[in-house]
Amino acid sequence: MAAALRISSCTSKGVDLSFCRRQELRLFHPTLPQSSSRVSFPRVRRVTVMAGLAAKKTPPKLEKVVLTKSQIEKAKSKMDKFVQKCPGHPDKREYALPYYLLHNEGDSVYGTVIIFHGFSATTTQMSLLAQYLYENGFNVYQPALCGHYFNKPDQYWPKADFKDDIKKDLVKKLLNDPKLKAYVDNFISISGLPTDYAIGALNCIEKEYPELHEAICDEEYSTAFSKFYKSNHIDYFHEAEQRLKEVESLPGPLMTVGLSMGGAAALSIAATHPDKVARTAVFAPLLKIVNEKNVQFSKLTGPLGAKEKGWYPDMPFSLSLMVAVDIYGHFVRQKKHLDTLAKMPTLIVQTEIDDSADHTVGLRIIKEIEERSGPHGPPHFSTLYTAAERVPHPMVHPLEVSQGSINQFWQSLYQETFRFLTEGTVDINHLHDKNQDLALPRVKDFVANVTVSS
């Protein structure tokens, strides 16, 4: 089940981050479902997913630019309207507050990186990477995903639900089925949901409610789905887009970086604002949730009251929120977005044992981006950590334990992210090496005693 972390001590310079407060941090992540799809790739496949490298047209290395007082003040005034409203809010969420790291007037910087954490996570998840990029020449803005800076998910986070005009009567009718009601009442966590349990819930409605069943099985979120459901998943995009506007005054190129749902947000902003975003790097992007039966179960039982209790027991949330995440992944995968990403340097890192994001979908997206890019397009880099390397879905922070593992290659991941953002290239082999590259800025060690409990 979920893993709890205790951080006894750590050191970090520059800002007072949540990981450096010697307080207990609990991070909960599901275990890998037995039904999760797995695709094996030999090492040669793993390290050669690189399109455009044969082209002479590679991005130039970034040249640093000097920050002015007016640039800093303009960006701060815009960001502060968002950042400063969160700490004083009665529903603020611990460890999840947005923040920025800006260099001083007269300092030289490569540009600005906007960083997005994963669904249900907090800004601490990406804090060490943010600090590393800041210390090595980037302005950094980590705004938090839409609504995630508040601790009432069902109220503030995007979700998909039955339409208002049908919800009351439909919920009442569905819960009249004692078997279906039992599936809802006995649900604990999607992470350990057996496939036959999900199928059993769906079987309760297949004959009596065929149109609803069709809507639930609609993976494309087309007219069948929209007949019964409403969703504000697009709020993830609108908030991320607003954060992009807040840093436009800062000099140099803008980059987007994200993990999981944050990876989807980073890709969507890059795909819709190619005039502003120069490069994008994402880790385990959540473009589709693992196991379609889990998604279907969430579509059916979320509006009926089923809540996820296994990740954060003190902060349960409706399964309807997970449906919104899956819909957003579908939004990012639109052809027009892939067409744009094909024209932009991209870095996509995935893991074969992913228990949240379907990495097979990610691989298909990578292939489509490569095909669209062609032989003279910009370079695109991608790699897949093999099952033997035991890299979990939340691969960015070294203390975030999931599936009984942490990412042993996190320092190399940081360095190669820096290389990609500054040079437009990546040493794929180094991503699978625990040793740091001496030619790149060193990732600082920090002291931490970690106790993992199930």
**Cα–Cα dist 420/391, whole Å:** 21
What does pTM read for this prediction?
0.88
Domain with CATH 3.40.50.1820 in the chain: 65-156+232-286+334-432
Q: Is the pLDDT of residue 195 over 60?
A: yes
Residue type, 256: T
**Cα–Cα dist 239/32, whole Å:** 31
Q: How confident is the model at residue 314 (pLDDT cuts 50, 70, 90)?
A: confident
More confident residue, 29 or 201: 201
**Cα–Cα dist 89/43, whole Å:** 49
- For residues 273 and 243, the answer to whether their CB atoms sit within 8 Å is no
Per-residue pLDDT, 58 = 67
Length of the chain counted residue by residue: 454
Per-residue pLDDT, 60 = 77
Q: How confident is the model at residue 29 (pLDDT cuts 50, 70, 90)?
A: very low
Q: How confident is the model at residue 24 (pLDDT cuts 50, 70, 90)?
A: very low
Q: Is the pLDDT of residue 16 over 60?
A: no
Name the residue among 312, 299, 280, 313 with its Cα closest to residue 379. 280
CATH code of the domain occupying 65-156+232-286+334-432: 3.40.50.1820
SS (H, E, C) the chain: CCCEEEECCCCCCCCCCHHHCCCEECCCCCCCCCCCCCCCCCHHHHCCEEECCCCCCCCCCCCCEECCHHHHHHHHHHHHHHHCCCCCCCCECCCCCCEEECCCCCCEECEEEEEECCCCCCHHHHHHHHHHHHHCCEEEEECCCCCCCECCHHHHCCCEEECHHHHHHHHHHHHCCHHHHHHHHCCCCHHHCCHHHHHHHHHHHHCCCHHHHHHHCCCCCCHHHHCCEEECCCHHHHHHHHHHHHCCCCCCCEEEEEECHHHHHHHHHHHHCCCCEEEEEEECCCCCECCHHHHHHHHHHCCCCCEECCCCCCCCEECHHHHHHHHHHHHHCCHHHHHHHCCCCEEEEEECCCCCECHHHHHHHHHHHHHHHCCCCCCEEEEEECHHHCCCCCCCCCCCCECCECCCCHHHHHHHHHHHHHHCCCCHHHHCCCCCCCCCCCCCCCCCCECCEC
More confident residue, 56 or 80: 80
**Cα–Cα dist 445/347, whole Å:** 25
Per-residue pLDDT, 47 = 39
Q: Is the pLDDT of residue 271 over 90?
A: yes
Give the least confident one: 19-23, 275-279, 362-366, 444-448: 19-23
Residues in contact with 89: Cβ distance below 8 Å, sequence separation at least 6, in sequence order:
149, 150
Q: How confident is the model at residue 376 (pLDDT cuts 50, 70, 90)?
A: confident
